[in-house]
Amino acid sequence: MLADRTAPAGAAARAAPAGLHAGSMVFDRVVSGYHGNMIVRGVSFEVPACGIIAIVGPNGSGKSTLIKTAFGLVRVASGQIRFGNQNLAGMSPAQRLACGIGYVPQLPSVFPSMSVQENLEMGLYCDRGSAEAAHPLEYAYELFPQLAERRSAAARTLSGGERRMLEISRSMLLRPSLLLLDEPSVGLSPALTKHMFEILVRLRETAGVALLVIEQNAKTALQICDEGIVLVGGKIAYHGKGKELLADDEVRRTFLGGGR
């Protein structure tokens, strides 16, 4: 049972010292981009421990760049990103994983010819603690029982929704305290998108993980998040409680396709 899960040795080693909020990430005037072309232009907000923050906004507004910066795939040009009380500057993605930060990229990241089980094993690649646990993959199957039924199937035979579940459960194997999700519903039907968000809310409740989630489907994302951020041109245009943003005339007209 999820509620009874015991933390693997690796998680204990990663646990933040007492008094720190391991899942809390602070963006402080973050500027980042590519080859001197700054895309994220001075962004400040916090993802509290166990919080769900949604980032929405038009294509090309820098959402993926922001989340890649949080995972160390794009360098911070100025400003700071802190996790707990640790400045993440100079830390590689692998080091961030070890700190308890997970990342599910926008583009598909399953290995199609590998089985579900083998794909999950890849998620333990850089963690000795979990790999030494008796059945490290069982946690993924607890989160998504329907993957357990398909454990021997090649990943390419999974539906789009099942592949996304595989990616999310793989990123959960290292027991992150913060999960960065770049468009988890991309390619999914409206019904599956709704299901995906129910899963994410449940993950927060059962695994105590904070979520920073980028979403094209702004209405759905703003309904389930604690706070929403509208990113436009690499800057925060609106930041507020998800439901307040949904009710805001200007946000609705400009970003959510008009009427109620």
Ligand X SMILES: Nc1ncnc2c1ncn2[C@@H]1O[C@H](COP(=O)(O)OP(=O)(O)O)[C@@H](O)[C@H]1O
- The footprint of ligand X (CB under 6 A) covers 34, 39, 59-65
In the block, which residue shows the tokens 């929403």?
Answer: 228
**Cβ at position 75, least distance to ligand X in Å:** 12
Q: Which does 61 bind (CB under 5 to 8 A by kind): Mg ion, ligand X, none?
A: ligand X
**Cβ at position 79, least distance to ligand X in Å:** 16
In the block, which residue shows the tokens 């990241």?
Answer: 109
Residue 217 touches Mg ion, criterion: CB under 5 A: no
Q: Which does 51 bind (CB under 5 to 8 A by kind): Mg ion, ligand X, none?
A: none
Separation between Cα atoms, residue 81 and residue 30, nearest integer Å: 7
**Cβ at position 177, least distance to Mg ion in Å:** 24
Q: Which of residues 116 and 188 has its CB atom nearest to Mg ion in the complex?
A: 188
Residue 61 touches Mg ion, criterion: CB under 5 A: no
Q: Which of residues 19 and 257 has its CB atom nearest to ligand X in the complex?
A: 257
Q: Which of residues 109 and 206 has its CB atom nearest to Mg ion in the complex?
A: 109
Separation between Cα atoms, residue 61 and residue 107, nearest integer Å: 17
Separation between Cα atoms, residue 139 and residue 173, nearest integer Å: 7
Q: Which of 27, 71, 68 is nearest to 178 (CA)?
A: 71
Count of residues in the chain: 260
Separation between Cα atoms, residue 5 and residue 79, nearest integer Å: 38
**Cβ at position 167, least distance to ligand X in Å:** 17
